[in-house]
Amino acid sequence: MKAVRLTAPKHFEFVETETPTPQDGQCLIRIERVSVCGSDIRHSYGPILSEDHYPFAPGKPCHEVAGTIVESRTDGFPVGKRAIVIPSGDAGGLAEYIVSGPERIALLPDEGNLDEWLMCQPSGTVLYSCQQMPNLLGKTVLVLGQGSIGLSFTMITSRMGARTVIGADLLDNRLAKSIEMGATHTINPSRDEIGQAVLEITDGVGPDVVVEAAGYPDTFNMAFRLIRQFGTVIIFGVQTDHMVPIEHNLLLDLQPHIIPTTGARSGDPIAHIREIVGLRERGWCDPGPLITHRTGLSDVQNAYDMYEQHEDNVIKVVMDIDA
């Protein structure tokens, strides 16, 4: 089968590799659409790793995957059904086929654009984090970072009953999308002092919940600086470094409830993706508008470069495996 893999820093190559064979209890899925995730950029594509990391396994780095089941050796997952698949082990999404068990497959409706259904994968991981939050009815939520993950937090918390949802980002195109996804207010910290802006919006008390969805040391500490006393800080953004300095006095002064969340390590990484598929199917939310660019796998190098450099107002790029 055709596949793509990272063979050197920021360098993809097309390869031919063996089509995987499903074992009992597994499915073979023909991959049709994949999308680029910020974590792929931050931890695999972007950094210059040591030589022993290359080449990556065929299909990597990519874990946002959707396609059609073409062979099934398990009950409840029939041939012909469309699905989101979470790759595991050495498998990656930049390939024509992938094998998976039911514990990493979310079935999709027969109707609707597959590109847009694929957006339930990143938004599903956010749904898990939102399920860890306190009751948001009438509360104020600040989301630091309005990439696809931050925008998903904005979308979901606005539908969970939050009275005020503030999206903060350095890029104005993301702030415009934030309003579209449900934000009541936006802040660009490059123009406005974010602490003062947040206090003005919240009548001087600060937000009830702050979400750190950017994954930088500055925004990590900013979350604790901006939260109201005894509020809740949700940690989602993954830091590049294992150790991040913390402004200790902020924790003692404001005594926030801190909830680190990672859907992939929740014990059931597919459940929240299945849940948001169901929510989208009944019209409760729609992560489809996160997509700003569509291209083919043949343009994979440009797709990852564009995402890394934030070119052309990109938020989410989806690739057609056959194009």
CATH code, domain with 247:
3.40.50.720
Domain boundary among 247, 264, 281: 264
pLDDT score, position 186: 98
d(CA 289, CA 147): 12
Nearby residues of 154 by Cβ (< 8 Å), 6 or more positions away: 143, 146, 165, 167, 178, 181, 182, 183
* Contact assessment for residue 224 and residue 201, using Cβ atoms and an 8 Å cutoff: no
Amino acid symbol at 140: T
pTM of the model: 0.95
* pLDDT of 103 over the 90 cut: yes
Phi, psi (degrees; rounded to nearest 5) at 51:
-60, -30
Say if 154 falls within a structural domain. Answer: yes
Say if 304 falls within a structural domain. Answer: yes
- How many independent structural domains does the chain possess? 2
Q: Is 143 found in the same domain as 85?
A: no
* Parent domain of 6: 2-119+291-320
Q: What is the mean pLDDT of the chain?
A: 95
Say if 286 falls within a structural domain. Answer: no
Buried b (16+ CB within 10 A) or exposed e, 2-29: bbbbbeeeeebeebeeeebebeeebbbb
Say if 83 falls within a structural domain. Answer: yes
Q: Is 84 found in the same domain as 11?
A: yes
**Average confidence (pLDDT) over 287-308:** 96
Say if 281 falls within a structural domain. Answer: no
pLDDT score, position 263: 66
Question: For 104-160, how does the pLDDT look when each residue is reduced to its tens digit (9 = 90+)?
Answer: 999 999 999 999 999 999 999 999 999 999 999 999 999 999 999 999 999 999 999
Say if 307 falls within a structural domain. Answer: yes
Cα dist. 244→99, 147, 194, 306 in Å?
A: 37, 22, 21, 28
Q: Is 105 found in the same domain as 143?
A: no
Say if 285 falls within a structural domain. Answer: no
Q: Is 22 found in the same domain as 55?
A: yes
Q: Is 96 found in the same domain as 44?
A: yes
**Average confidence (pLDDT) over 9-24:** 95
Say if 127 falls within a structural domain. Answer: yes
Q: Is 115 found in the same domain as 14?
A: yes
CATH number for the domain spanning 82: value is 3.90.180.10
Cα dist. 75→26, 68, 72, 102 in Å?
A: 9, 16, 8, 9
Question: For 231-279, how does the pLDDT look when each residue is reduced to its tens digit (9 = 90+)?
Answer: 999 999 888 888 888 888 989 999 999 999 986 777 789 999 999 999 9
Q: Is 72 found in the same domain as 24?
A: yes
Q: Is 255 found in the same domain as 298?
A: no
pLDDT > 70: what percent of the chain?
100
Interaxial angle between packed helices 194-201 and 217-226, expressed in degrees from 0 to 180 and rounded to the nearest 10:
40
Q: Is 152 found in the same domain as 105?
A: no
Q: Is 216 found in the same domain as 189?
A: yes
Q: Is 109 found in the same domain as 94?
A: yes
Q: Is 155 found in the same domain as 70?
A: no
